[in-house]
Amino acid sequence: WVVHGLGGALLVGRVVHAYGVSQAREDFRFRVTGMMLTFAALTVSSVLLVAGRLAGSLETCVTVWV
């Protein structure tokens, strides 16, 4: 479920950012929200992967975080 949640956040972030950029008058709220969701998904994924590697097992790390 963690992978699905992170993938969903990444997808929504990219779509929201694209919507903000595609407007004739760019709405920075959409761009910033999209960037925040994108970077949050990437950061959480990175932290989980590094912590999982240090713990020796990704399943152990995800179980602890969730």
The stretch 44-64 carries a mean pLDDT of 74
**First vs last C-alpha separation in the chain:** 10
Per-residue pLDDT band at 66 (split at 50, 70, 90): low
- Does residue 49 contact residue 59 with C-beta atoms inside 8 Å? no
Q: What is the pLDDT of residue 52?
A: 78
pLDDT in tens, 26-53: 778 988 999 999 999 999 999 988 887 7
The reported pLDDT for the residue numbered 2 is: 83
